[in-house]
Amino acid sequence: MSSSAVSNGSATSGKSSSGATPGRLASVYSEVQTNRIKVALPLPSVLKNSFNVVDGPPSSAAGNPDEIAKLFPNVFGQPSAMLVPGDSANLASDRSLKIGVVLSGGQAPGGHNVISGIFDYLQDRTKGSTLYGFRGGPAGIMNCKYVELTTEFIYPYRNQGGFDMICSGRDKIETPEQFKQAEETALKLDLDGIVVIGGDDSNTNACLLAENFRGKNVKARVVGCPKTIDGDLKCKEVPTSFGFDTACKIYAEMIGNVMTDARSTGKYYHFVRLMGRAASHITLECALQTHPNITIIGEEVAAQKQTLKNVTDYITDIICKRAELGYNYGVILIPEGLIDFIPEVQQLIAELNEILAHDVVDEDGHWKKKLRSQSHQLFELLPRAIQEQLLLERDPHGNVQVAKIETEKMLIQMVETELRKRREEGTYNKEFSGQSHFFGYEGRCGLPSNFDSNYCYALGYAAGALLHSGKTGLISSVGNLGAPVEEWTVGGTALTSLMDVERRHGKFKPVIKKAIVELEGAPFKKFASVRNDWALHNRYISPGPVQFVGPTANDINHTLLLELGAQA
């Protein structure tokens, strides 16, 4: 196992760059990393030759089009753009471009390839162009903190995980002052365009920036790219967000290993919490890849208005049935956001926040009388450690920190309590031993799978093409993903067409609706049709580590495959 140094090169830093991030120029790489860098990325056919950008019909909004139209007077209703083979007549071929790119929000495998795609587009199609990387997320735009991206600087990041090329951030450009700052940066750098790589919020902000620039006659256009491992930014034209494929494969590798361990050892129930607060796509995808005994999908829990007791009983019942079959082990997948999907928990939290803000929590528990009956019952049902956590660990605003609750550990304790009851009643007579796992950080920065590597490169290359053709307020859209890369379709979708409004503080706020798990969608229906079989019989699958070469290297995830199949 030798390692090799990445070939050096010179980085050109923008004036206001802090220089705190030296990049990976002096990094030592593993052989797998080195081999990944060398892999040339395929492009969809339409991007390999000259093309024209063709507009579709005008677009509307996902909901409340009138309000969206008012919020985006300059960019609402734009048609989708589709790249088709052609003579490049509608591209500004006579001049070079100045483009900025920014990473926004949490990491997802493939971000570096989006940047590589934009860069290569500019190199290939618009000689003399410049690509600026804004450092540390949208704050980098506002503070004009950037690095000029060169061939040498970008090289070590090709097909590599992480967001460290320019790093990311969670700031938003939303106040008039912040828009003004962004405008100043655009003018100072003489930008023709900005690519925002982010999730639903970041793409909403990208569209606001596009609207703002156009309204003020600022030259810079803005195009978004769909990023999030959670998989909750997608629509018909944007079949998936990048990073979801890799993250799920990494989690599924670990789950498969734990399953084999469970079956070999024969005495543990492994409770695995997986990322995904607002949607359970990761949990569902990992279930489809590995066939666990029990999988909790938050959206179903919410739709059926289940209580925490219902969820506990569902798990406990299966454990008891398995015991009858001689299995005292199993694997259970739980989405990170489970608690947020349970209405009674939300109610309890709201009441606790109210009580904790005004009253003293006496040790004798008199304060509990202020809880409504159902909330009181729920509170008493919770394991002691969770009760204490709810009462003691509060955020700076004094609110209960729901996100800090380790749901998998809580469920283990609740199942233990229920099993103890059943043991006393004589309906269960086996041992139970729960093991908890949380797979999170391990998946956000893995080496991108071949799918994510190729998809991201195409997204970036397409973003370059959209800006080159003068488009703004679109999200880069690459489709037909079930086919070989050559046959992928390429275009852009009006960001306003993904939007609805939410009423906040008496005002309408535009939001790209998170795509949650559809209970009538193909992935969930597939899961629902087999889960009872998985519960009692062990159908474990071990996906193994992500392969970059060989017959399985280009496989795409089940969710995408099933959704494409249902569409076809």
Q: Does 413 bind a second copy (CB under 8 A)?
A: no
Q: To 5 degrees, how large is the angle CA 544–CA 545–CA 549? A: 115
Q: Pick out residues in 326-355 that bind a second copy (CB under 8 A).
A: 326
- Given the residues 120, 192, 230, 340, select the one marked as catalytic: 230
Q: Does 289 bind a second copy (CB under 8 A)?
A: yes
CB 167 within 8 A of CB 112: no
Between the CA of residue 378 and those of 249, 344, 368, 415, 502, what are the distances in Å? 36, 8, 11, 15, 30
What does the DSSP 8-state code read for residue 11?
Answer: -
322 assigned to a ligand binding site:
no
86 assigned to a ligand binding site:
no
Q: Please count the residues of the chain.
A: 568
- Give the residue, chosen from 176, 441, 505, 568, that forms a contact with a second copy under the rule CB under 8 A: 441
Q: CB-wise, 51 or 327, nearer to a second copy? A: 327
Q: CB-wise, 62 or 561, nearer to a second copy? A: 561
Q: Does 546 bind a second copy (CB under 8 A)?
A: yes
531 assigned to a ligand binding site:
no
Residue 231 CB, shortest distance to a second copy, in Å, is 15
Q: Does 545 bind a second copy (CB under 8 A)?
A: yes
Residue 322's H or E segment, with its range, is helix 308-324
With H, G, I as helix, E, B as strand and everything else as coil, classify residue 479.
strand
Spatial neighbors of 552 by CB under 8 A, at least 6 apart, are none
Q: Does 107 bind a second copy (CB under 8 A)?
A: yes
Q: Does 35 bind a second copy (CB under 8 A)?
A: yes
Of the candidates 149, 155, 154, 96, the one whose C-alpha atom is nearest the C-alpha of residue 125 is: 96
Stretch that binds a second copy, among 32-40, 316-324, 375-383, 478-486 (CB under 8 A): 32-40
Between the CA of residue 240 and those of 107, 190, 476, 482, what are the distances in Å? 16, 33, 12, 12
Stretch that binds a second copy, among 65-73, 399-407, 498-506, 551-559 (CB under 8 A): 551-559
Q: CB-wise, 125 or 270, nearer to a second copy? A: 270
Residue 435 CB, shortest distance to a second copy, in Å, is 7
Angstrom distance (rounded) from CA 276 to CA 267: 28
- Give the residue, chosen from 217, 264, 373, 429, that forms a contact with a second copy under the rule CB under 8 A: 264
Q: Does 444 bind a second copy (CB under 8 A)?
A: yes
Single-letter code of the amino acid located at 292: P
CA 529 to chain centre: 26
| Annotated catalytic residue 230 | yes
H helices within 336-449, ranges in order? 343-358, 373-381, 384-392, 407-425, 441-444
Q: Using CB under 8 A as the criterion, what x/- string covers residues 515-544 for binding a second copy? A: ------------------------xxxxxx
Sign of CA dihedral 220, 465, 155, 228: positive
- Give the residue, chosen from 65, 231, 434, 443, that forms a contact with a second copy under the rule CB under 8 A: 443
Q: Does 239 bind a second copy (CB under 8 A)?
A: no
- Give the residue, chosen from 10, 15, 32, 424, that forms a contact with a second copy under the rule CB under 8 A: 32
Angstrom distance (rounded) from CA 244 to CA 443: 9
Q: Which two tokens stand for residue 88?
A: 């490049």
Within 13 A of 117's CA, how many CA atoms are on the CB side?
Answer: 33
> Measured in Å, how far apart are the chain's first and last C-alpha atoms?
45
Q: Does 113 bind a second copy (CB under 8 A)?
A: no
Q: CB-wise, 96 or 265, nearer to a second copy? A: 265
Q: Does 430 bind a second copy (CB under 8 A)?
A: no
228 assigned to a ligand binding site:
yes
384 assigned to a ligand binding site:
no
Spatial neighbors of 66 by CB under 8 A, at least 6 apart, are none
H helices within 94-233, ranges in order? 111-125, 138-142, 151-154, 176-188, 200-215
Single-letter code of the amino acid located at 153: F
512 assigned to a ligand binding site:
no
Q: Does 277 bind a second copy (CB under 8 A)?
A: no
Q: CB-wise, 528 or 530, nearer to a second copy? A: 530
Q: At what angle do helices 373-381 and 308-324 cross, to 10 degrees?
A: 40
504 assigned to a ligand binding site:
no
Residue 168 CB, shortest distance to a second copy, in Å, is 7
Q: Does 318 bind a second copy (CB under 8 A)?
A: no
- Give the residue, chosen from 214, 227, 270, 281, that forms a contact with a second copy under the rule CB under 8 A: 270
Q: Does 406 bind a second copy (CB under 8 A)?
A: no
Within 13 A of 315's CA, how many CA atoms are on the CB side?
Answer: 34
Stretch that binds a second copy, among 160-168, 178-186, 471-479, 482-490 (CB under 8 A): 160-168
276 assigned to a ligand binding site:
yes
Q: Does 20 bind a second copy (CB under 8 A)?
A: yes
Between the CA of residue 382 and those of 60, 377, 390, 414, what are the distances in Å? 46, 9, 10, 7
Q: Does 446 bind a second copy (CB under 8 A)?
A: yes
Q: Does 269 bind a second copy (CB under 8 A)?
A: no
Q: Which two tokens stand for residue 563?
A: 């959704």
Spatial neighbors of 513 by CB under 8 A, at least 6 apart, are 62, 63, 200, 498, 499, 500
CB 278 within 8 A of CB 240: no
Residue 533's H or E segment, with its range, is helix 522-536
- Give the residue, chosen from 120, 183, 211, 253, that forms a contact with a second copy under the rule CB under 8 A: 253
Residue 115 CB, shortest distance to a second copy, in Å, is 13
Phi, psi for 279 (deg, rounded to 5): -145, 155
Q: Does 322 bind a second copy (CB under 8 A)?
A: no
Q: Does 76 bind a second copy (CB under 8 A)?
A: no
Q: What are the beta bridge partners of residue 435?
A: 270
Q: Does 392 bind a second copy (CB under 8 A)?
A: no
Residue 172 CB, shortest distance to a second copy, in Å, is 18
Residues labelled as active-site residues: 230
Q: Please give the annotated binding residues for diphosphate, written as ranges.
A: 106
Known binding site: residues? 106, 200, 228-230, 267-268, 275-277, 336, 441-444
Residues of this chain that bind a second copy (CB under 8 A)? 1, 3, 20, 27-33, 35-36, 107, 160-164, 167-168, 250, 253-254, 256-261, 263-266, 270, 289, 291, 326, 435, 437, 441-447, 539-552, 555-558, 561
